């Protein structure tokens, strides 16, 4: 069996660091700027919530697809 190489730190921490940086930029924009800074703050601070919603939706829809895949087989079993 070939030896597995360790993961690069960017592969492990890249996305969380980018989300954290975007959140920090949003917090600073909300504190230091008006107008466009408020819009930038709302967008960057909603990024973690959007990612959470996307992953929860992906997990929920994945389970729903699995359930639907077995539905026609169950209907066919009822007919016989």
Domain residue spans of the chain: 41-67
Cβ atoms < 10 Å from Cβ of 47: 14
Q: Quick one: pLDDT at residue 23?
A: 95
d(CA 52, CA 76): 38
Give the predicted TM-score (pTM) of the model: 0.64
Asked if residue 30 lies in contact with residue 47, where contact means CB atoms within 8 angstroms, the answer is no
Calpha distance 44→52 (Å, rounded):
14
pLDDT at position 77: 55
Please report, to the nearest 10 degrees, the dihedral formed by the alpha carbons of residues 37, 42, 48, 50 taken in order: -140
Q: What is the pLDDT along the chain (80 residues), one digit of tens a residue?
A: 777 777 888 888 999 999 999 999 999 999 998 888 899 999 999 999 999 999 999 998 877 666 555 555 555 555 55
In this predicted structure, what is the pLDDT of residue 21? 96
């Amino acid at each position: 069996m070939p030896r597995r190489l360790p993961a690069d730190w960017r592969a492990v921490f890249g996305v969380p660091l980018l989300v954290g940086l975007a959140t920090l930029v949003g917090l600073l924009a909300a504190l230091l700027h008006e107008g466009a800074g408020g819009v930038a703050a709302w967008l960057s601070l909603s990024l973690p919530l959007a990612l959470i919603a996307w992953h929860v939706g992906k997990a929920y829809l994945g389970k729903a697809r699995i359930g639907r895949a077995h539905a026609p087989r169950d209907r066919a079993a009822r007919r016989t």
